[in-house]
C-alpha cells in the first residue's frame, strides 16, 4: 500500500497531470501527430507549428514550458527556433529531434542550449527520460 500523498507516477512515465504548455515545431504531419500524442500523454497542452518561422513567432507571443523542434535537414533549419527559445527564456528546455544523426547539428544544438538531441523514431521512454531530467519551467511571458 502506498503512503498517503506519495507520488503515483514514476519519473519518466506518462500521466495525465498538467505539466504546462509545450511548443512542437515539426514540419512533417506524421511526426507531428506522433510527438504531439506523446507530449499529451505526459500532461502537456500542445501548441503546434508547421514551420520554423511560425515557431519563432509563437515563442515571441506565448509562454511555454517545453519545446520540441525538428532539426530539418543537415543545414539545421530548426536552429532558429532553438535560438529564439533560449533568448526568450534561458531555462526553457528545448529538445531537438533529428531524422538522422548529424554530429555537426548535434554539437550546434548543444552549444545553443538544447537539453537533448534525439534521432527519429523517438520512443515514449526517450521522451520520458528527457522530461524527467528537465521538469517544466512554467514559462515566462515574453
Q: Over the stretch 27-48, which tens digit does the pLDDT of each residue have?
A: 887 889 999 999 999 999 999 9
Confidence of residue 137 (pLDDT cuts 50, 70, 90): low
User: Alpha helices, DSSP H only, in the chain?
Assistant: 29-41, 52-61, 79-88, 103-112, 124-133
Give the Cα separation of 1 and 107 in Å (integer): 46
Per-residue pLDDT reduced to its tens digit, 85-102: 999 999 999 999 998 888
- Domain ranges (residues) in the chain: 20-133
- Predicted TM-score (pTM) of the model is 0.84
CATH class of 20-133: alpha beta
CB neighbourhood size of 114 (10 A)? 24
pLDDT band at 50 (very low <50, low <70, confident <90, very high): confident
Amino acid at each position: 500500500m502506498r503512503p498517503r500523498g506519495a507520488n503515483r507516477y514514476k519519473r519518466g512515465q506518462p500521466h495525465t497531470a498538467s505539466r504546462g504548455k509545450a511548443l512542437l515545431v515539426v514540419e512533417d504531419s506524421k511526426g507531428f501527430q506522433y510527438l504531439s500524442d506523446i507530449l499529451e500523454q505526459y500532461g502537456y497542452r500542445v501548441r503546434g507549428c508547421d514551420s520554423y518561422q511560425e515557431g519563432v513567432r509563437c515563442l515571441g507571443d506565448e509562454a511555454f514550458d517545453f519545446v520540441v523542434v525538428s532539426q530539418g535537414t543537415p543545414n539545421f533549419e530548426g536552429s532558429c527556433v532553438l535560438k529564439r527559445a533560449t533568448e526568450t527564456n534561458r531555462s526553457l528546455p528545448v529538445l531537438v529531434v533529428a531524422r538522422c544523426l548529424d554530429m555537426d547539428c548535434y554539437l550546434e544544438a548543444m552549444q545553443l542550449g538544447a537539453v537533448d538531441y534525439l534521432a527519429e523514431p523517438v520512443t515514449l521512454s526517450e521522451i520520458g527520460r528527457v522530461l524527467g531530467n528537465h521538469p517544466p519551467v512554467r514559462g515566462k511571458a515574453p
